[in-house]
């Protein structure tokens, strides 16, 4: 887990960068120091710049980057590679490369294996990689730049193409020096989508010039030849006719093997633990590998929003040590500017706040943590996925009758019993479901935005077109796998953990686990006659996690946003809205009215107010520069010294 920055000039024989350009590149790299405080390396060549911030996890003494491959022979040094992430099957790939190509290696880490795999197999190596990654590989023989991102988008990669050349980095802030950092560059379509989804959907960013390489995509670029991007992997859930017991065993075997591989490191490894079955399963399987496992959880000083007691009970049953973190309103006010700055683009998911503090505590004890992201999208864990079944009856009515019932719902008073049921039941799935989070409706956005933009369907319509042959539940999961998962869940996981130089690994988002989930029929995810979710996964965990946990409803670090907005955080946000210079983009008076209604108890506007407030905070930090967050040099100074002893794999 590291931070990379790359520049490839568009001009042949551009020469070594002048001192000013070199200093700007090094300064850009320093904005990502938190991603890799263990080592910094910058290399300049003829029209090239490669920078790397390393968080040393495997082969800590030797496997520095950039990597040059091959290390010897007639093609020595043909490739220069920088790589952020982990390849969990690198030892198997290394053996394959030696057997098939007599490949030689100068180190014992996964970075050189990745370089060798690309050297010998080219893009065909990508489906063979089991892990999380974003990498850039430059071919000195052809002058071609190659880049790729892991199938689910666990690791980020930002791309900027200008007349000067191609810039890439692990965080967008490292590219602002070269992209024209001004308010005029703000992408209003991206802002409009943020107001709908609570995050900026990939590959967009709020900066018009900077884009993200999408999950499961590869990129090639040559000076004068332009850029080409292709998808090499598309996660798809196609229900098959499978035997339940075989499906349960396949899930258990795949996840156990994934956790075992994710535990491999030469530094201390721990786990996150909340109240649900996902993190509990990770903890239970990780303990099989590391009996003295250390787990971490977080909660708030408001007991109604704390999972610590439940997590402690689970930890006791599993026999693991648990360190809790309690978060106060003062903590949130103090750290929120830094949290938003780390995100590059605002993400209005309040759960990233406890994740930030949880990662900070964990980083004082371990360098790697395992976490449960991805389970709900793969196995059908969100309650909203049950909606198609609850609406099945009304969905079978003739089209004319459905139109009449929908018209009736529009004249029923807001909040009247049955209104929402009629409206949802007579609305096609592609118009009804925008993703796991939906903040402002199109009508509400028309009141809030001072600009026009493309509709939210620009993000989701092609996803529904690609799933026209599956049921509505599989379509909803597909939408979330391509939007919510990379745009919210994985973005906050990467940024909040990396803020403290902590590597977060996600065993559910493994190729083998995905394969075990991809063919599950809907009845094995969401059983009829029940309100339960991800049944197949829960059955697979029978005998692994305590029964009291196996059927527990997911809470996922609940955050007291609605309470905060009525207290001192609400006061702070009111002042933020008052002083914001984003009024040319949003009607902040409308936002203030939403806040006033919430504080008066007239409506629960917490999610809407939080979404606007996080954008205004981002705008103050990034555009206005009226708020300058405190940036600690690194959190790793807090860690105790530890030996470089490998954990059992």
User: What positions carry a catalytic annotation?
Assistant: 2
Residue linked to tokens 């406890």: 354
How would you classify the pairing of strands 321-327 and 294-300? parallel
Which residues, other chains included, contact 249 with Cβ-Cβ below 8 Å and sequence gap of 6+? 540
Within 10 A of 458 (CB to CB), how many other CB atoms are there?
13
Inter-axis angle of helices 457-465 and 188-197, nearest 10: 70
No. of helices (H) and no. of strands (E), the chain: 29, 17
How would you classify the pairing of strands 210-212 and 165-169? unpaired
Inter-axis angle of helices 110-121 and 90-101, nearest 10: 40
Q: Using CA atoms, how far apart are residues 592 and 219, in angstroms rounded to an integer?
A: 44
How would you classify the pairing of strands 368-370 and 503-505? parallel
Residue of 11, 72, 4 whose CA lies nearest to 35: 4
Residues paired with 542 in a beta bridge? 545
Long-range contacts of residues 212-215, Cβ cutoff 8 Å, at least 24 apart: 212/156, 212/157, 212/158, 212/159, 213/134, 213/147, 213/148, 213/149, 213/157, 213/158, 213/159, 214/149, 214/153, 214/486, 215/149, 215/150, 215/151, 215/152, 215/153, 215/482, 215/486
110 marked among binding-site residues: yes
571 marked among binding-site residues: no
Length of the chain equals 649
Q: Using CA atoms, how far apart are residues 170 and 3, in angstroms rounded to an integer?
A: 5
C-alpha 563 chain-centroid distance: 27
46 marked among binding-site residues: no
Q: CB–CB of 191/453 below 8 Å? A: yes
Residue linked to tokens 């560059």: 185
How would you classify the pairing of strands 269-272 and 294-300? parallel
**What is the DSSP code (8-state) at residue 228?**
E
Q: CB–CB of 563/302 below 8 Å? A: yes
Residue numbers belonging to the annotated binding site for L-glutamine: 110
Annotation: binding site: 110, 371-372
């Amino acid at each position: 887990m590291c931070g990379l920055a790359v520049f490839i000039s568009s001009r042949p024989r551009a020469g070594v960068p002048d001192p000013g350009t070199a200093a700007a590149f090094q300064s850009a790299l320093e904005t990502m120091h938190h991603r890799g405080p263990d080592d910094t390396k910058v290399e300049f060549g003829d029209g090239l710049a490669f920078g790397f911030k390393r968080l040393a996890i495997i082969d800590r003494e030797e496997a520095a980057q950039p990597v040059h491959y091959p290390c010897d022979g007639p093609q020595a040094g043909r490739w220069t590679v920088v790589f952020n992430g982990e390849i969990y099957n690198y030892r198997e790939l290394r053996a394959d490369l030696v057997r098939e190509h007599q490949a030689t290696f100068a180190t014992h880490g996964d970075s050189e294996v990745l370089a060798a795999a690309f050297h010998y197999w080219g893009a065909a190596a990508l489906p063979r990689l089991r892990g999380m990654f974003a990498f850039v590989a430059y071919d000195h023989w052809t002058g071609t730049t190659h880049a790729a991102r892991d199938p689910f988008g666990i690791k980020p990669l930002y791309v900027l193409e200008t007349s000067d050349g191609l810039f890439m980095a692990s965080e967008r802030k490292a590219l602002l020096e070269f992209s024209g950092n001004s308010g005029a560059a703000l992408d209003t379509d991206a802002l409009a989508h943020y107001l709908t989804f609570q995050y900026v959907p990939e590959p967009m960013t709020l900066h018009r010039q900077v884009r993200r390489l999408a999950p499961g995509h590869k990129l090639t670029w040559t000076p004068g030849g332009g850029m080409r991007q292709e998808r090499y992997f598309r996660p798809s859930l196609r229900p098959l006719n499978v035997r339940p017991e075989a499906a349960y065993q396949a899930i258990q075997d795949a996840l156990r093997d994934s956790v075992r591989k994710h535990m491999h490191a030469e530094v201390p490894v721990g786990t996150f633990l909340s109240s649900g079955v996902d993190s509990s399963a990770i903890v239970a399987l990780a303990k099989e590998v590391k009996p003295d496992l250390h787990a971490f959880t977080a909660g708030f000083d408001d007991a109604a929003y704390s999972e610590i007691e439940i997590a402690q009970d689970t930890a006791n049953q599993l026999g693991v040590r648990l360190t809790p973190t309690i978060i106060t309103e003062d903590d949130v006010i103090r750290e929120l500017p830094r949290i938003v700055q780390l995100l590059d683009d605002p993400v209005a998911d309040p759960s990233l706040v406890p994740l930030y503090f949880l990662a900070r505590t964990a980083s004082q004890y371990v360098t790697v943590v395992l976490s449960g992201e991805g389970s709900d999208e793969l196995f059908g864990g969100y309650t909203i996925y049950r909606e198609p079944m609850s609406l099945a009856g009304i969905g079978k009515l003739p089209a004319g009758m459905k139109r009449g019932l929908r018209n009736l719902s529009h004249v029923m008073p807001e909040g009247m019993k049955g209104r929402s049921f009629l409206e949802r039941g007579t609305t096609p799935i592609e118009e009804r479901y925008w993703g796991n989070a939906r903040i402002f409706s199109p009508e509400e956005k028309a009141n809030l935005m001072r600009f026009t933009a493309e509709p939210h369907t620009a993000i989701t319509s092609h996803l529904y077109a690609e799933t026209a042959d599956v049921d509505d539940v599989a379509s909803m999961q597909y939408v979330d796998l391509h939007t919510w998962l990379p745009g919210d869940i994985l973005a906050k996981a990467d940024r909040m953990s990396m803020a403290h130089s902590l590597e977060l690994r996600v065993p559910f988002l493994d190729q083998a686990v995905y394969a075990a989930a991809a063919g599950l029929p809907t009845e094995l995810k969401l059983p009829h006659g029940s309100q339960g979710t991800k049944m197949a996964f829960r059955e697979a965990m029978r005998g692994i996690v305590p029964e009291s946990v196996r059927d527990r409803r997911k809470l996922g670090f609940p955050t007291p946003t609605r309470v905060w907005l009525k207290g001192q955080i609400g006061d702070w946000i009111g002042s933020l809205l008052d002083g914001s210079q984003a009024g040319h983009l949003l009607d902040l008076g409308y936002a203030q009215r939403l806040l006033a209604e919430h504080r008066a108890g007239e409506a629960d506007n917490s999610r809407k107010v939080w979404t606007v407030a996080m954008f205004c905070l981002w705008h103050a930090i990034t555009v206005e520069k009226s708020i300058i967050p405190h940036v600690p040099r690194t959190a790793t100074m807090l860690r105790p010294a530890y030996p470089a002893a490998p954990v059992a794999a």
